[in-house]
């Protein structure tokens, strides 16, 4: 099995992440399909999308399959796996590896809504079972 970007330690840029979001939502897609989804909103052109797709393929994040004269792209990494890895890197880099420090920071900066707090409480109850 091919190693994914997260296995190799290769980071996915913000622009590449936008492409991954399109493909996590629906795949396989052609470069044209991806561009139809995000080019206008981001001010990108088809060459930009093709460059980002090529980078993601080389990082092991996307697979390609020929479809006539075009290629179809599909993710090789799951959204949940990517988010988990990025979340852990954030906690490690900014909060010394302690998730509690992240929550404390969010609480102190009043970034957590009552809805957020309720969801966190439900998650903690589930974890303690």
For 2-35, the pLDDT digits (tens) are 444 545 557 899 999 999 999 999 999 999 999 9
Locate 103 and state its tokens. 């929550």
**Peptide bond before residue 35 is cis, with ω within 30 degrees of 0:** no
**3-state DSSP assignment of residue 70:** strand
Task: Give the span between the Cα atoms of 72 and 80, in whole angstroms.
Answer: 22
Task: Give the span between the Cα atoms of 43 and 33, in whole angstroms.
Answer: 15
Same domain, residue pair 62 and 28: yes
Structural domain containing residue 11: 5-75
The gap between the terminal CA atoms of the chain, to the nearest Å, is: 35
Write down the pLDDT at residue 9: 53
Same domain, residue pair 9 and 71: yes
Q: Which helix (H) or strand (E) holds 95?
A: helix 79-95
**Residue 47: CATH number of its domain:** 1.10.10.10
Q: Quick check: 71 and 64 in contact, CB under 8 A? A: yes
Is residue 86 a part of any domain in this protein? no
Is residue 85 a part of any domain in this protein? no
Task: Give the span between the Cα atoms of 124 and 129, in whole angstroms.
Answer: 9
- 45-102 per-position pLDDT tens digit: 999 999 999 999 999 999 999 999 999 999 999 999 898 888 888 888 888 888 888 8
Write down the pLDDT at residue 120: 85
């Amino acid at each position: 099995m091919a190693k994914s970007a997260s296995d190799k330690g290769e980071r996915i840029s913000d622009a590449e992440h936008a492409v991954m979001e399109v493909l996590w939502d629906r795949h396989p897609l052609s470069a044209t399909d991806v561009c139809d989804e995000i080019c206008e909103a981001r001010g990108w052109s088809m060459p930009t999308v093709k460059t980002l797709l090529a980078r993601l393929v080389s990082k092991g994040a996307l697979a390609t399959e020929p479809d006539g004269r075009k290629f179809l792209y599909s993710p090789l990494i799951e959204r949940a796996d990517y988010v988990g890895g990025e979340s852990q890197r954030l906690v490690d880099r900014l909060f010394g590896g302690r998730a509690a420090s992240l929550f404390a920071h969010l609480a102190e900066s009043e970034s957590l809504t009552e809805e957020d707090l309720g969801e966190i409480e439900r998650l903690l109850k589930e974890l303690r079972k």
